[in-house]
Structure 1
Amino acid sequence: MNTAEKASVAFSYIQNHVPEVYEKYLEFTKTMALKGDLSDRDKELILVACSVMSQCDMCIAIHVEAAAAAGASRDQILQAALMAVAMGGSPKLMYLKYVFEALDDLFG
């Protein structure tokens, strides 16, 4: 099971055990996604960087996949991740491992 699949299992678990929290979370994130003039691709690239900054391997997998689906290239996704490294230093550098794994899953 890859990391994106593990994230899906985690979301299912949350939805089954605290559905009211899960629904409110989805409502909040959908509302935020509708705001502003950024493209879906740009929003997902930002979320890739935020995922690296948060050191969340499941978030990285989800947002690398979503960025690619929104039209981001492998190089654009990697550049977004590297911007997080520039801001976060060596702890963030270690999380590039998960970016590379997610990119390899998608782009080979």
Structure 2
Amino acid sequence: MSTTEAELHCEVCNLLTDHELHYTGRLLDSVRCTRCGTHVELSSRALIPAYALDLEQRVVSKPRRMMRRVSRDPAGYLRQLPRAVLRQPGKFLREFRGLLRR
């Protein structure tokens, strides 16, 4: 899960305020107003099918992304590949567990 901030209009405060945007993978799963604390979450029921579609797109685009990285820095790519391959299953498992905890 990752977090970023953005200035959005809060419907509770009725002001333009900073909001924390929480992502699971590349999907927005919740938003929290830093001024009043209003927290809006998407349900797991909505996120799981969206996550599956996003995961499918990530898998399909992986060969193209890998080739782009190889062409930019072949030695660096080969050096980082073993660790990246070992890291992927855990990354997907953490993302999916994050969706189920909701």
Scaled to the shorter chain, the TM-score interval is 0.3 to 0.5
Of structures 1 and 2, the one with the larger relative CO (CA 8 A, separation 6+) is: 1
TM-score, normalization by structure 1: 0.31
- More helix, by proportion: 1
In terms of Rg, which structure is larger? Answer: 2
- More strand, by proportion: 2
TM-score, normalization by structure 2: 0.32
